[in-house]
Structure 1
Amino acid sequence: MDTFGLVVIGSGPAGVSAARAWLEAGGSTPVLLVSADRDEPYERPPLSKEVLAGDTQPEGSPIDGKPLPNQVELRLGQPVSQVDTDARTVTVGGEQVGYGQLVLASGSRPRSLPSADADADVHLLRSLDDAQRLVAAAGHARTALVLGSGFIGCEAAASLARRGVTTTLVSPEKAPQVDRLGTHAADAISGWLTGLGVTLAMGTEVSSIRAPRQVHLSDGTTHEPDLLLVAVGVEPSSDYLDGTALQQHEGRVVADEHLHAAPGVWVAGDLARAMHAVAGRPIPVEHWGDALAMGEVAGANAAAAAAAGSSDKTESKEAWKPWDQVPGFWSTIGEHTLQYAAWGNGHDEEVVDERPGRFTVWYGQDGRLVGVLGYNAEDDYERGQALIEQGAELAEAARGDRPAEAAGESEDESEGGSGSDARDDAS
């Protein structure tokens, strides 16, 4: 039986980032990275945007533009069927391999609709293979129906419309993203979509989908598009962990703020339900940038634990990195890019700062700043991330206050040395 210092399950951003971080931290080689995906690790964000719109070819580009280090052995198209955390083995393609440290980064898979016939011609969008089939279908389609108004649904609807396909977006939400982002952002997204020619069927449920592509909606209408895309969210890919002693919550692996789930076991990305070091509570995330950041933490901590000779020594844990980045993502809908960072547990107040060609939405809960969304407002986005992490008040963010450290730097560098000057400059 082959044994590796590190085995990584999953070839997405979390898995790739973990493998790189392990090596950069001096982890032993070689490293084994296994994945059910047939393609070498690739960037997923372009699939619903440039690739689907026809701006680029449906070919995978390396994550962060860099190939995997030579010390990483890839086994693709080989799903893991079993993990034994006591024996420290994983079963890959029927073969057992041993590990010193294990990073679980298998991500998630798109949800399907139970109301759809098993043989209905339905597209999902998660992998490069999905994208290639979807692009091929879009090349022959005159009409499309997109089910779901999350960011994948909105991005895909915009991309289909841009390539000349008459597209309708269906969602039970009253407006795209209104439940998460509030009315101002939802109205902006609605305008961008309708400006591209997308028809919005909001507040509408799917009653059933009959083969091949007959969609019955709760408003009594029936659609028979040439292309049908279901984008109604994702669920963790964790079936292979059934029977292990790992603690799970709704399919996600429970971990501490260091992304440590069990002796020798770490988790990162969509699969994790990890305690956040700053928020002080578990935060599940499903965003590309967060997966990269979590993978880096998991890989570095696994290397530190291996170097210490045990994943449970108290003195080893003192050197582990915490997961402390404020969760967030970017989304491009047509030609419009949104930047969003938030704790993700909702909000009860919004403050909007709108100027020509840009806007910022500040989100508060019980007076505390819990999120920021920027359109053409990268300065506010970056300022907001730091303020959220520092536990700032909503009013402080809305009036232009800077994070504590940045404010001190501004005072030192400014001629007048005034904190109010710094706030005026930032606003």
Structure 2
Amino acid sequence: MAIEKFVVVGASLAGLRAVEAARKAGFQGEITLIGAESHLPYDRPPLSKEFLEPADGQPDPPYFREESVFADELGVTLMLGRPATELDVEARVVRVGTDQVPYDALVIATGAAARHIPGAESLAGVQVLRTLDDSLAVRNALDEGARTVVIGAGFIGSEIASSANKRGVEVTIVEALPTPLVRATGTEMGPAIASLHERNGTSLRCGVGVRSIEGLDRVEKVVLEDGTEIPADLVVIGIGVTPSVGWLEGSGLRLDNGIHCDETLWTGVPGVYAAGDVVSWPNPTLGVRQRMENWTAAAEQGAAAARNALDPGNAKAYGTVPYFWSDWYDVRIQHVGTPDADEVVLVEGDLERAPATDNRWIALYRKGDRLVGALTVQGQAEIMKYRVQIMKGASWEDALAHAARRREAHAAKLAAV
């Protein structure tokens, strides 16, 4: 079947990359980009990082492209501020309210929505942080010096706390788990990274849940399960996300921790592919089914899904080594691969000292006799080397030998300064 109408649902990074990849591949037909938010596609990582930090005036929204680029260079029809409401796979139509958008090929890149704490949504000053509008609301509160409580010590919550700390406002992080960052970095390195908060004067309460968030019309305090009351003018909830698939109920797509796809990002329904935070697929590089919530995978998957949707006869599997980064207190944290390991070894650094130029932290993750993950703190020059090793299936012995060589080279460089 000739493909003349290409539709992308989700004006996200993955959605943008799908549009760009379609044109780069030579597609000359109609392209429609549907987005629930009224904003042009924008970069999400800055929303919990530099966008919140002290600055003179309001920072510019981190848009990827100006509207003229979509109209003049990419030839895209934008439908923004209008969420998709239904998918009819038999008629090959995406419904947007009362409108119908026909497609020959479709990429779904609707991402995920931040989880909220039931009952707290109506209180002013209680925020999640997922969208540009969320970030603006948090920034405005920080500008006013709001006493801040962050619920959840994951990377988003920790970035928000770091930004609040830089402003000199009172900030507390509450984490229900006894060890933070377990899912992202494992039980060995999670506490070490979390110690950055205390080292920088941010209060971190672990192993205690939230009983209630209280106030009249506006939040006034957070009450913990142990009875502790923490005064608050701003509460930011960072307890994870859920894939945005509600509009797909009854469509015939398999929904299981997102949209269940094969290794080519195909949903199993003719013409329909998925990309970004919303997709669950078997990653052939690591041999496991995954749903990734990171910038790099979203960008790569958007492009891959578009190419496969437009040329399904030559669809290629998408595999990757996961990569994410986070910035706290002027420290760069990076991770590649998976934290699901049999052993974690610190191959460089002293966890008793704060990370710095002369004390970067590098930890390697072993599964069987293979390197499956690496974590660096202030190791920007190292992390991608380990990503390449994981992609090539490096042995644990080779990884340790590589680490020893890099450690010696780094020591020599410091000695020469």
The TM-score range, normalised by the shorter chain, is 0.7 to 0.9
Q: How large is the Cα RMSD of the aligned pairs?
A: 2.5
Quickly say closer, same or farther: Cα 1:280–1:176, change in 2 above 3 A. Answer: closer
Distance 1:108 1:178 in 2: 21
What is aligned with 2:391?
A: 389
1:182 offset after TM fit, Å? 3.6
Greater shift, 324-333 or 66-75, is seen at 66-75
Q: Is the 8 A contact 1:368 1:393 kept in 2?
A: yes
What is aligned with 1:348?
A: 342
Q: Tell whether 2:20 aligns with 1:26.
A: no
Aligned to 1:242, which of 235, 245, 249? 249
Q: Is the 8 A contact 1:29 1:71 kept in 2?
A: no
What is aligned with 2:200?
A: 196
Q: Deviations over 1:235-286 (max 9, x none)?
A: 0111110111111113x11111111112100100111001112223311101
Distance 1:282 1:132 in 2: 35
Distance 1:179 1:32 in 2: 36
Distance 1:244 1:425 in 2: 56
Q: Tell whether 2:294 aligns with 1:287.
A: yes
Q: Is the 8 A contact 2:245 2:255 kept in 1?
A: no
Quickly say closer, same or farther: Cα 1:55–1:374, change in 2 above 3 A. Answer: farther
Distance 2:144 2:395 in 1: 52
1:328 offset after TM fit, Å? 1.5
What is aligned with 2:140?
A: 136
Q: Is the 8 A contact 1:21 1:299 kept in 2?
A: yes
Quickly say closer, same or farther: Cα 1:42–1:327, change in 2 above 3 A. Answer: same
What is aligned with 1:224?
A: 231
Q: Is the 8 A contact 2:40 2:65 kept in 1?
A: no
Greater shift, 65-74 or 156-165, is seen at 65-74
1:175 offset after TM fit, Å? 4.0
Distance 1:190 1:180 in 2: 12
1:423 offset after TM fit, Å? 11
Quickly say closer, same or farther: Cα 1:220–1:366, change in 2 above 3 A. Answer: farther
What is aligned with 1:331?
A: 326
Greater shift, 82-91 or 110-119, is seen at 110-119
1:157 offset after TM fit, Å? 0.3
**TM-score, normalised with respect to structure 1:** 0.86
1:16 aligned partner, one-letter code: L
Aligned to 2:209, which of 200, 205, 210? 205
Distance 1:279 1:7 in 2: 30
Matches within 5 A, 1:119-130: 119=123, 121-130=125-134
Q: Is the 8 A contact 1:80 1:90 kept in 2?
A: yes
Instruction: Tell me the secondary structure at the aligned position of residue 321 of structure 2.
Output: coil
What is aligned with 2:362?
A: 360
Aligned to 2:373, which of 368, 371, 374? 371
Q: Is the 8 A contact 1:276 1:282 kept in 2?
A: yes
Q: Is the 8 A contact 2:332 2:380 kept in 1?
A: no
Instruction: Tell me the secondary structure at the aligned position of residue 116 of structure 1.
Output: coil
What is aligned with 2:284?
A: 277
What is aligned with 1:38?
A: 38
Aligned to 1:151, which of 151, 155, 160? 155
Q: Is the 8 A contact 1:53 1:162 kept in 2?
A: yes
Quickly say closer, same or farther: Cα 1:282–1:156, change in 2 above 3 A. Answer: same
Instruction: Tell me the secondary structure at the aligned position of residue 109 of structure 1.
Output: strand
Q: Is the 8 A contact 2:41 2:65 kept in 1?
A: no
Q: Tell whether 2:124 aligns with 1:88.
A: no
Quickly say closer, same or farther: Cα 1:150–1:65, change in 2 above 3 A. Answer: farther
Distance 1:366 1:65 in 2: 48
Q: Is the 8 A contact 2:260 2:279 kept in 1?
A: yes
Quickly say closer, same or farther: Cα 1:4–1:128, change in 2 above 3 A. Answer: farther
Instruction: Tell me the secondary structure at the aligned position of residue 103 of structure 2.
Output: strand
Q: Is the 8 A contact 1:5 1:27 kept in 2?
A: no
1:143 offset after TM fit, Å? 1.1
1:179 offset after TM fit, Å? 4.6
What is aligned with 1:61?
A: 62
Instruction: Tell me the secondary structure at the aligned position of residue 297 of structure 2.
Output: helix
Instruction: Tell me the secondary structure at the aligned position of residue 232 of structure 1.
Output: coil
Quickly say closer, same or farther: Cα 1:368–1:202, change in 2 above 3 A. Answer: same
Quickly say closer, same or farther: Cα 1:353–1:422, change in 2 above 3 A. Answer: closer
* Percent of aligned pairs with the same amino acid: 34
Aligned to 2:306, which of 299, 323, 329? 299
Greater shift, 66-75 or 354-363, is seen at 66-75
List gaps (5 residues or longer) in structure 2. Answer: 350-357, 412-417
Instruction: Tell me the secondary structure at the aligned position of residue 173 of structure 1.
Output: coil
Distance 1:192 1:422 in 2: 25
Distance 2:55 2:179 in 1: 28
Instruction: Tell me the secondary structure at the aligned position of residue 59 of structure 1.
Output: coil
Q: Is the 8 A contact 1:124 1:230 kept in 2?
A: yes
Aligned to 1:253, which of 244, 247, 259? 259
